[in-house]
């Protein structure tokens, strides 16, 4: 049994035997990085977790190692030349590994500033990514989850694992605004996403986007869009039209014509209570004022990726105490109910008004419960919400 690759063996036998074989076979990891101190740290960490490791320092050594020895997973850096961050060598290596029958799947490592490389690595076959500098507990968890997903042969599990990692891990704190978000996929993975970005002292970026399509393809497009937005959005809001034109060009050139995204992007200034925003063909978010008056933030730009020519402008407004901002994907208002009617904007407006004197938690729970109770099993789609309350 030990001469058979563990992934092949585990796929051929029952659950209990899989567990026994998995426990009996030492899990071997191939570590690839051109920095000796990084390799030493990884070896010590993973040895303490019970993994057997072998380390190499170049793409050529990786190819030779997987051709001559059995490994369950590769943990590899994407940059092997210290004076560049292009990741070309790492990406080329992933492409080469596809042509080596013995090659195991790979988890890639990259700096957060180069997360777009991780997205491209996923397109070329990587099963997950880890950002540098890494958190030890999270790195070990990612390795274990990737091994389990690979042994199950579950591509959707891998995609779900990666997608969850791209959502905000924490909510930035502001003096005058409370914010929360939720994303519910109809399937294992989806094409919606939201993000909360610290853009500077007292500045918060809010993003909600909806990529046309479902499944793994939409999830990868979503991840690519998010990485691009994150790397560009820290510029001043007055530069956003030019920035979004550049993002639109990248998205247009690198996706099929039927793939596009709607997006709402905003920069909130905590001290001025000012929200400056761009709406790229997205459902108009709602601003429900403390007195109940409703404003809709209509599109100020075309959708991303559908047209080479991109027109965009930015608008601004003030959020006073007691005002609410509700940003939502079309899965909310287009959700089909038991009698085949759709949820619609008015139900959402009425619900926000009803709950506007409560807390953020009460608003969040009320919307979620109302949507869950309204939707028919066949009427569910991906839906995402960003809710902000001025305090």
Q: Residues 129, 121: contact at Cβ < 8 Å?
A: yes
- Which pLDDT value is given to residue 53? 95
What domains can be seen in the chain, in order of their start residue?
6-153 (3.40.50.2300), 166-390 (3.60.40.10)
Question: Rounded to the nearest 5°, which phi and psi values hold at 154?
Answer: -100, 95
- Which pLDDT value is given to residue 213? 64
Chain mean position to CA 182: 13
* Separation of alpha carbons 210 and 390, rounded Å: 25
- Which pLDDT value is given to residue 99? 80
Q: Residues 229, 161: contact at Cβ < 8 Å?
A: no
Q: Residues 105, 146: contact at Cβ < 8 Å?
A: yes
* Separation of alpha carbons 213 and 191, rounded Å: 6
- Which pLDDT value is given to residue 157? 59
* Separation of alpha carbons 31 and 66, rounded Å: 11
* Separation of alpha carbons 323 and 302, rounded Å: 27
- Which pLDDT value is given to residue 154? 58
- Residue 330: which of 350, 344, 312 has the closest Cα? 344
- Which pLDDT value is given to residue 189? 57
- Which pLDDT value is given to residue 314? 93
Beta partners for 195? 207
pLDDT in tens, the chain (391 residues): 333 333 333 333 334 334 433 444 568 999 999 999 999 999 999 999 989 999 999 888 999 999 888 899 999 998 765 444 556 788 889 988 888 877 898 999 987 656 667 777 877 888 888 888 899 999 999 999 888 877 765 555 556 666 666 677 778 889 999 999 988 866 555 678 899 999 889 999 999 998 886 656 667 777 778 877 887 787 888 888 998 998 888 888 877 767 789 999 999 999 999 999 999 999 999 999 999 999 999 999 999 988 888 989 999 999 999 999 999 999 899 898 877 789 999 999 999 999 999 999 899 889 988 988 888 866 666 789 999 999 9
């Amino acid at each position: 049994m030990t001469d058979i690759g563990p992934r092949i063996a585990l796929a051929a036998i029952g659950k209990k035997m899989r567990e026994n074989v998995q426990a009996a076979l030492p899990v071997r990891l191939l570590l690839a990085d051109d920095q000796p101190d990084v390799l030493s740290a990884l070896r010590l960490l993973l040895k303490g977790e019970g993994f057997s490791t072998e380390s190499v320092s170049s793409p050529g050594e990786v190819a030779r190692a997987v051709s001559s020895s059995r490994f369950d997973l590769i943990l590899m850096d994407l940059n092997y030349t210290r004076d560049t961050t292009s990741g070309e060598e790492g990406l080329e290596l992933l492409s080469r590994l596809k042509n080596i029958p013995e090659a195991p799947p790979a988890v890639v490592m990259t700096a957060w500033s180069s997360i777009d490389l991780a997205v491209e690595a996923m397109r070329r076959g990587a099963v997950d990514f880890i950002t540098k500098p890494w958190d030890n507990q999270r790195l070990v968890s990612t390795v274990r989850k990737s091994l389990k997903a690979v042994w199950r042969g579950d591509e959707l599990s891998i995609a779900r694992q990666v997608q969850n990692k791209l959502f905000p891990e924490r909510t930035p704190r502001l003096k005058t605004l409370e914010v929360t978000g939720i994303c519910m996929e109809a399937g294992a993975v989806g094409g919606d996403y939201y993000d909360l970005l610290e853009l500077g002292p007292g500045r918060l970026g809010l993003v909600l986007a909806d990529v046309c399509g479902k499944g793994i393809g939409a999830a990868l497009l979503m991840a690519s869009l998010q990485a691009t937005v994150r790397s560009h959005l820290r510029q001043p809001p007055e530069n956003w039209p030019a920035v979004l034109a550049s993002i639109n060009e990248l998205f247009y050139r690198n996706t099929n014509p039927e793939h596009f995204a709607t997006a709402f992007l905003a920069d909130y200034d905590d001290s001025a209570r000012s929200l400056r925003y761009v709406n790229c063909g997205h459902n108009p978010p709602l601003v429900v004022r403390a007195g109940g008056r409703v404003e809709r933030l209509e599109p100020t730009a075309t959708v991303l990726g559908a047209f080479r020519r991109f027109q965009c402008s930015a608008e601004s407004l003030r959020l006073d105490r007691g005002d609410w901002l509700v940003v939502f994907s079309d899965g909310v208002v287009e959700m089909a109910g038991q009698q085949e009617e759709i949820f619609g904007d008015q139900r959402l407006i009425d619900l926000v008004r009803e709950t506007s004197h409560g807390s953020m938690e009460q608003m969040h729970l009320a919307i979620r419960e109302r949507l869950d109770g309204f939707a028919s099993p066949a009427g569910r789609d991906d839906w995402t919400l960003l809710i902000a309350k001025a305090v």
